[in-house]
Structure 1
Amino acid sequence: MACITHSSVPGQLEKTLKQVRSKLLNQCIEETYTTEITERKQAHKDAIKSYTDTCSKKYKEDELLFENFQTCRNDIEHQNVLVKEKMNEMSRILLDMQDKEKQKDDLITSIQQLREEQARKKDLMIAQNKANKDRLKTLQKSAETFEIRLRLEIRKPQGKPEQLQFVFRNINHKDLECPYTFILWLNAEGEYTVISCDPPLECMPQLEKKVRETNNFSAFLANVRKEFAALNL
């Protein structure tokens, strides 16, 4: 009982309580301050992000506005050029109209000559097309003699009446049904033109040139088959 009632005990207890209270108070203040700082940092971060997003959106809008402005500006400049050209053209027309009566007869003559030239070209084109069709028919007939002996098949590509596809077989001894093909076209001048070859032949341009010179299509077919066969040697 003497220890409990000692005069220094209450003072020490009060001091200890004050220290605990101070420590708890400081801890509470520190936690509150830390929380407030964290919240302020987050709020600042959110504000910065919102501001950045707003600035970015505004920048994009301004950039698009500038592009539209530049486009409008270019269009206006282009229209100004067109207007200037039209004005120059109108000036030339006005000048031309001054001697219209003088040039009238020459113009009528030129138009008539142009019509005659167009009619002549049209007749020539019709005749050339007919000649090409006749040549294709002749090619088909001459090529038919090779169909049995050389296993040659002649086809007309769909929608391309001016072309013929030639298909050789019995060339590859390992696969007698393996096709060797080329497509022939008669151009506007009536010349033979090979537009595709499978498998490709390096000498095809020379063979093409020779058949144009000699017009010996039978020899051309025989030479093409010979070159196809040489690929398997």
Structure 2
Amino acid sequence: MTSITDKNIIDGFANAMEEIHNKQLKAYAEITEATTQRSQSHRQFVKSALDTCLEKCENDEMLFDSIEVFKKDLQHKNASLKDKQHAIAEMTSDIEQKEIQKGMIIQKIEKLKEEQAQQKEFIESQYKANKNRLKNLQKARHVFQDHLGMEIRTICGTEHQLSGKRFQFVFRNINPADLNSAYIITMRITEDGAYQAVSSDPTLECLPALERRLQETNNLPVFLTNVRKEFISQVR
């Protein structure tokens, strides 16, 4: 058995221990280097992740700020839209009211046109009727004035408007005792174009009946003839 006091053994052991120690140091160095690399890699990863998180937070804050801006802008636009809708509703209501008023005005215009047409037709018919009555007056004047000495007087009204005009028919040659004595009947033409006996001098009791007959026949010469006969009968 080799003695531990043997120098070669001691040196061999020392060398073996040194070799082991060197290997351990090398392994430790490798572990330390790997750990350092991993630590640096981890720090870089953490830094990159932190930077990414910070950037994400900033982006999120900007996004939230943009959302708030969009919300406020949307609220403003909604309020403006409500105001515009209210204004449009008022304008629509005004337009509808104006359309109703327009329709009423058109109806009034149409009614006025109809009334004007009816009035024109009435005036034309009255003009024709008055024209015929004027012819009758002229005919009566020709017959009675030229042949029987009757005088026709116009006592009111205008020259071209018969409505409201009054006429006096003055009969003479009635009383044999006084041929120049005047017997008068006053008449007028009403607004509807009818003959109307106003009075007679002297008074004829049968004048209303003669007037009704005149309005039925519209024959003025016959009426004046009957009036003359009644005056003559009254004298006799």
- Taking structure 2 as the reference length, the TM-score comes to 0.50
* In structure 2, C-alpha distance between the alignment counterparts of 1:148 and 1:117, rounded to whole Å: 47
For 1:114, the aligned partner's letter is K
Q: Distance in 2 between matches of 1:113 and 1:141?
A: 41
Partner in structure 1 of residue 147 of structure 2: 149
Q: Secondary structure at the match of 1:156?
A: strand
Give % identity.
32
RMSD after superposition: 2.6
Tell me the distance in 1 between the aligned counterparts of 2:158 and 2:207.
Answer: 22
Contact 2:168–2:187 under 8 Å retained in 1: yes
Which residue number corresponds to residue 25 of structure 1? none
2:3 aligns with none
Asked if the contact 2:126/2:192 (under 8 Å) is kept, the reply is no
Q: Is contact 1:128-1:189 (8 Å) kept?
A: no
2:195 counterpart of 1:192: yes
Q: Where does residue 223 of structure 1 map in the other structure? A: 226
Aligned mate of 2:109, from 99, 112, 133: 112
Aligned mates of 2:196, 2:132 — CA distance in 1: 13
2:130–2:193 Cα contact (<8 Å) kept: no
Give distance in 1, aligned partners of 2:191 and 2:157. 17
Paired residues for 1:64-79 under 5 Å:
none
CA distance in 2, matches of 1:178, 1:210: 27
Instruction: Tell me how many residue pairs correspond in the alignment.
Output: 137
Q: Which runs of 5+ in 1 are unaligned?
A: 1-96
Offset of residue 128 of structure 1? 3.9
Task: Provide the C-alpha distance between the structure 2 equivalents of 1:159 and 1:211, rounded to a whole number of angstroms.
Answer: 22
User: Residues 164 and 184 of structure 1 are in contact (CA less than 8 Å); yes or no, is this contact kept in structure 2?
Assistant: yes
The match for 2:120 is 123
Deviation digits for residues 83-103 of structure 1 (CA, Å, limit 9, x no counterpart): xxxxxxxxxxxxxx9x84573
Task: Give, in whole Å, the separation in 2 of the partners of 1:172 and 1:103.
Answer: 74
- The SS at the match of 2:117 is helix
CA deviation after TM superposition for structure 1 residue 132, in Å: 4.3
Q: Distance in 1 between matches of 2:158 and 2:181?
A: 25
Amino acid at match of 1:172: N
- How many angstroms does 1:208 deviate by? 0.8
Q: How high is the TM-score relative to the length of structure 1?
A: 0.51
Q: CA deviation at 1:147?
A: 1.8
Task: Work out whether 1:135 is the aligned partner of 2:138.
Answer: no
2-side partners of 1:204 and 1:164: how far apart? 16
Which one-letter code corresponds to 1:118 in the other structure? E
